[in-house]
Structure 1
Amino acid sequence: MNRRNLLGLGALAAAAVPLAGCQKYRSNDAVPPVVSHSPQPSSGEPSAAAVTEGGGAVPFEPGKVMLGAYVDLKGRSANAGIDLRRRQLGRPERIVHRYYSWTDKLPVSLGYVSGKSTLMLSWRGPEYKDVNGGAADKLIAKAAQRMAERKRPTLIRWAWDMNRDFYKWGGPANNKDTKGYIQAYRRIHRIFREEGADNVSWVWSPNWNSRPSESWNTYANYYPGDEYVDWAGVSGFAQAQSPGDMFDEFYETYASRKPIMIPEVSVVDRGGNTKPEWIASLREWIKAHPAVGAAVWFDTDTHPTSRENWRIDSTPASLAAYKAMSNDPVFIG
């Protein structure tokens, strides 16, 4: 059994810990030049990492990381929660992440999204047949028209965690039809293009840990193709895993082709200094992997299937570690 499968078994052991955004979130308001997040070595030797350009309408900026969050805090509106984070961090979120259901109207504007922030919409999917048969074409076209009306560069993360078994748009819920996922993704992408929604950047986003952990369900089997992906995203919620345990394999697979995003990330607090230390390790892992252009924290204490507090300020030490990452010049504000 390989390292990935062993780690997957460890993650599955904690059934109460979610590994991706929960179904509760129905809606709410050629290789280019070498770059590095860190200064070049004094010897003048180039970095060994080569990263791709790209990102589409939300471009990848070599040497910089957009640090953002999904903010949903108990007892606070979205606006109040995002404002709290602005005051704590001294800057707006670089990416504001929100969830929408398949039949929701995607937002033309959201008052709490700063002009310095980019909106990322995680848009739930239906079963593949509902897209691939053409029945949803009008719904998709209307969504595309709203995004075109929005005009501002916007990230869309359609049908994320498709390699997990808890969503109706996942391969396990669609008769293991990974090609059906690719067909649906490409159809939606085409309709958006035809409707003039060229302000959309497409985030393809599996989970690091496939479930079931079987060869047919590896995330590579869901990849729509370079033409259809602007950002390659991988999510992970750590227990004992390091950032490298979760993200190294994905990075090695896609970093030479697409800018990398971590669109959902957090860590279980195992007491003591474990959470702030993990945040510090994420900061260093990202800086050592120059194709990573965005990281989005799952900043909430309202998750319906877990008592885990994923907030950045769950403890003073955790907030201090997160602020240190936010204040690092690599993580642009």
Structure 2
Amino acid sequence: MNASEVGAALKRRQLLSLLALTGMAGCGTSPTPSGTPVSTPSPAVTERLGSALTTTAAPPSAAPPSASPFPSPSATGKPGVMLGSYLALGGRTLRQSLALRRSQLDREQRIVHRFYPWDGYVPTGEPDVARSSLLMVSWHGAPWGGILDGGSDATIRSVARKLKAMNRPILLRWGWEMNGDWFDWSGAANGRNPADYVRVWRRLREIFADQGATNVSWIWSPNWNSSPAEPWNQVQRYYPGDDHVDWVGISGYNFYGESPSTLFGPVTRRYGGRKPIILSETAAVQDKARYIKRLHTWVADTPAVRAVVWFDTDIQEGTDHDFRFDTDPSALAAYRAMARDPHFNA
């Protein structure tokens, strides 16, 4: 997937956000895991959906892979939230971008987010990422059939060995936003059978375990709302099971004024009692200072959320959005206040 395709996905998500607010598509104003449109978010909606679905549609699995280096709700053993970002600033290298943010926030990024292709170049190290930072890797997915038939095993083993050789803790986010219809690893593009996604996920984890990549923790990361909003595409149908997930991530942007509660509340309520939650992609595209302040408050009031990763770029091909938090003084001040809050310095 190239940068243009990523931009197209963002455009598609923007459209879904608008349709969700109008009740025409997505998951409605309340992005409930069932994909059922409702007018307002409420715990009662989630309760009607029942407890978090175990993947009974998937085949029984062998013993779970080796333990994650982050098995507890706090990845660091400290209370609070880790704050980081995906950084791609126009005219700057990653090192220069990190230096700019360090000067603005008086701190390192606790998490640095990078994107790696499925079967293209995967580096053997990230020298610009401080050792005090966690590396979060979004590893592109692929059509499921070529994984389930064993044809991709060599690729998977190669990536596992490279990530192991980095000799640092890594948060791995594979095949994200599978409940959308904009990537070729989505349910919509793979026979509308989420149970196969679960099989793929478990296969990947087993191969990583076989390669001894015990420095890798796995983030299962759906989009905040589903497209299409049909019963087969309910977000919980993609869940690989508690033994196979270390973190639950959520992607959500305020394309049309959605609140953090609307974007992140339903998935957090469903899984936050069992897994640490990471807001793996978020940013504001309008009224940035207000969104950042609301995000700051909502996360601080939601103990299940243990990490926030801002999508910090102004050069995303295929979209005209500027996701940087320093586009105006009020937004920068709001983000700086969040970054300097001791609760966000885990």
Q: TM-score range by the shorter chain?
A: 0.7 to 0.9
Cα pair distance change 1:227/1:105, threshold 3 Å: farther
1:74 correspondence with 2:90: yes
| 3-state secondary structure, aligned to 1:320 | helix
1:150 correspondence with 2:166: yes
Cα pair 1:162 1:169 within 8 Å, conserved: yes
In structure 1, the residue matched to 2:243 is 227
Quick one: distance in 2 between partners of 1:109 and 1:13?
45
1:284 correspondence with 2:286: no
In structure 2, the residue matched to 1:123 is 139
Q: Deviations over 1:131-154 (max 9, x none)?
A: 100001111111111122112110
| Residue identity in the other structure for 1:10 | L
Q: Deviations over 1:272-315 (max 9, x none)?
A: xx210110110110011101110000001111222111001111
Please report how far the alpha carbon of residue 12 of structure 1 lies from its aligned counterpart in structure 2 after TM superposition: 9.3
Q: Which stretches in structure 2 are left out of the alignment for 5+ residues?
A: 1-15, 26-66
Cα pair distance change 1:314/1:203, threshold 3 Å: same
Quick one: distance in 1 between partners of 2:262 and 2:217?
27
In structure 2, the residue matched to 1:169 is 185
Cα pair distance change 1:184/1:155, threshold 3 Å: same
| 3-state secondary structure, aligned to 2:310 | strand
Residue number among 275, 281, 295 corresponding to 2:308 in the alignment = 295
| Residue identity in the other structure for 1:98 | R
In structure 2, the residue matched to 1:51 is none
Cα pair 1:164 1:207 within 8 Å, conserved: yes
1:307 correspondence with 2:320: yes
Q: Deviations over 1:49-81 (max 9, x none)?
A: xxxxxx932453463101000010111112211
Cα pair distance change 1:209/1:11, threshold 3 Å: farther
Quick one: distance in 1 between partners of 2:246 and 2:261?
23
In structure 2, the residue matched to 1:10 is 21
Quick one: distance in 2 between partners of 1:317 and 1:114?
28
Cα pair distance change 1:162/1:69, threshold 3 Å: same
| Residue identity in the other structure for 1:302 | I
Q: Deviations over 1:148-175 (max 9, x none)?
A: 2112110100000000101000000111
Please report how far the alpha carbon of residue 187 of structure 1 lies from its aligned counterpart in structure 2 after TM superposition: 0.3
Residue number among 283, 304, 311 corresponding to 1:266 in the alignment = 283
TM-score by length of structure 1 reads: 0.82
Cα pair 1:7 1:241 within 8 Å, conserved: no
Cα pair 2:86 2:312 within 8 Å, conserved: yes
Q: Deviations over 1:176-227 (max 9, x none)?
A: 1211111111100000001000000100000001111111111101001111
In structure 2, the residue matched to 1:24 is none
Quick one: distance in 1 between partners of 2:307 and 2:331?
20
Cα pair distance change 1:8/1:155, threshold 3 Å: farther
Q: How does 1:1-333 map to 2 (within 5 A)?
A: 9-10=20-21, 56-58=68-70, 59-60=74-75, 61=77, 63-238=79-254, 239-269=256-286, 274-332=287-345
Please report how far the alpha carbon of residue 107 of structure 1 lies from its aligned counterpart in structure 2 after TM superposition: 2.8
Q: Percentage identity across aligned positions?
A: 41
CA RMSD across the alignment = 2.1
Cα pair 2:288 2:325 within 8 Å, conserved: no
| 3-state secondary structure, aligned to 2:236 | helix
Quick one: distance in 1 between partners of 2:78 and 2:109?
19
Please report how far the alpha carbon of residue 6 of structure 1 lies from its aligned counterpart in structure 2 after TM superposition: 9.3
Cα pair distance change 1:157/1:92, threshold 3 Å: same
| Residue identity in the other structure for 1:300 | T
Please report how far the alpha carbon of residue 104 of structure 1 lies from its aligned counterpart in structure 2 after TM superposition: 2.6
Please report how far the alpha carbon of residue 9 of structure 1 lies from its aligned counterpart in structure 2 after TM superposition: 2.0
Cα pair distance change 1:167/1:319, threshold 3 Å: same
In structure 1, the residue matched to 2:35 is none
